[in-house]
Structures are given as structure tokens and as C-alpha cells.
Amino acid sequence: MKMLNLFIVSDSIGETGELVAKAAISQFRPGLQHTKLKRFPHIDSIDHIKEITELAKEQNAIILYTLVQTNMRDALIECCKQYQLESVDLIGPVLNLLENSLGEKPFEEPGLVRKLDEDYFKKIEAIEFAVKYDDGRDPRGLLQADIVLIGVSRTSKTPLSQYLANKRYKVANVPLVPEVEPPEELFQIDPAKCFGLVITPEKLNFIRKERLIAIGLNDDASYAKIERINDEIKHFDKVVRRIGCRVIDVTNRAVEETANEVINHIFKNN
């Protein structure tokens, strides 16, 4: 059986080229028997291309390449002609087709698809983090979080956590009630990443009454009484003073507005 020698040349990690090569080879040699695959990733200069084509000539290799920059593709084509090497451009024809169809120039920036994938997975990780450490479920998350939100019940901690998670921030939130001591981890974190959410007693009274009605309960429960709310806000004030964190008034404020204030503050302190 004839030995097959393939060079995979890429300006990124070369994963796409290798997958295409293996898919094609498997149609002839399912176990990739008598096949050598060598990947050349992060090729960013014409000197590299010259070295690779010289080596390919010595080893009688076929070159498959995924180079997004036109000048790099042109250089490889010329070198392959010079050494009479077989080569296949795996991405250039697609780029040319899209350029003609869209009437737009490609960015020609290596690794963009990988950057997009990394961004997606960071977002998923942040969303899972926000769910896991929502509502003070596990105080250990406070030490791992990028942002910590604290506040009394119904101050939009959870919606804000999810919104920030979609911006790729790992967020934990803790509800504050007078009868329960805040977790010790809350006082070990950097105050700059902690935000207290406060709301006027009147607004909170209205929100809590609506919540009680929505779940089929009487709206005159202690949870919605002004006296109880005032006690909770006093406790909240005491805790935020001890932490020394920033306080944001979320009364009549959209989640997006609060999120922007949090992000701007984090950005300024980094």
C-alpha cells in the first residue's frame, strides 16, 4: 500500500484542515493506515511557507492549507509551483465565493472562528455559574465570582445575575434577611466587586404585594408590610457598611440600566 504523506498548513491551529484531511483519507483508508499527517499551525510569515514547502518536497508530501490571508495563500501557491507539489486550498475558494456574493471584503484575521467558540463557551459557563450560585445557595461561589450582588428579597438580584452572565461575568447573589447572618465569605471578597441593590420601601411594598397575589396568597402577609420592609432595609444598610461596597438604587430602574452601571464600575476598577 502506497504511503500517503500530508502536511496541514494553517494560520490558526489547523484543526479544520486536519478534520477535512481525515474525512477524505477515511474514504480510502478507514484506519488511516500508511498515512502520515503533520500539522503546521500558526504560520504567519512567507519564510515559514518556504521552509514548509522545501520540507514537503523532500518528503514527497501533499499540502492542504487553510490560510485566510490572500498574500499567504499566493505565496504558498507559488512555492508549490516552484517545487511541483500537489496542494489543496481548503478555504480560499469559499472566501472568494462569499466575497463576490456579499460584495464585502473578508477580515483576513486568523482564528476568528475559534475566538467566537471561546466567547460562546465563556457565556455558557457564566450562565451555569449564575444558576448554581443564585440566591445564596452555596457561599463558596462568592470567592470565585466576578460580581457579587446583595439585597433584600425582590430587588431583581436573579434577573440582574442572568443578564450579567450573558455578558460573560460570573455572578453570585445573596439575599439579606435580619434573621440570618450573612455568610462569612461575603466579608472576605474584594468590596469593589460587590454591589448592594436597594429600593424604596413603598416600591418594594407594592412589588411584594403583587408577588403574593400572583402566587395566590393574601397580600397583607408580614413579608409585604412596610414595618417588615424597613427592618430588612436597616439590616441591609448595616451589612453594606460592613463590606464597604457600592450601593445601587434599583427603584424604577430597568435591569439593563443597573447592569450598565455595574459593568462600568467593574471596568473602571480593573
Three-class SS state of 189: coil
Judge whether 83 and 50 are in contact, CB under 8 Å. no
Q: Which amino acid is at 111?
A: G
Q: Exposed, middle or buried, 206 (CB in 10 Å: 0-12/13-18/19+)?
A: middle
Alpha helices in 27-111 (DSSP H): 46-59, 70-83, 92-102
156 appears as a binding residue in the annotation = yes
To the nearest 5 percent, what fractions of the chain are helix, strand and coil?
55, 15, 30
Residue 6's DSSP bridge partners are: 37, 62
CA angle 230-176-189, nearest 5°?
A: 130
Judge whether 223 and 175 are in contact, CB under 8 Å. no
200 appears as a binding residue in the annotation = no
70 appears as a binding residue in the annotation = no
258 appears as a binding residue in the annotation = no
53 appears as a binding residue in the annotation = no
Instruction: Give the alpha-carbon dihedral of 36, 42, 46, 50, to 10 degrees.
Output: -20
- Residue owning grid cell 455568610: 183
16 appears as a binding residue in the annotation = no
Which residue ranges make up the annotated binding site?
151-158
Which residue ranges make up the annotated binding site for ADP?
151-158
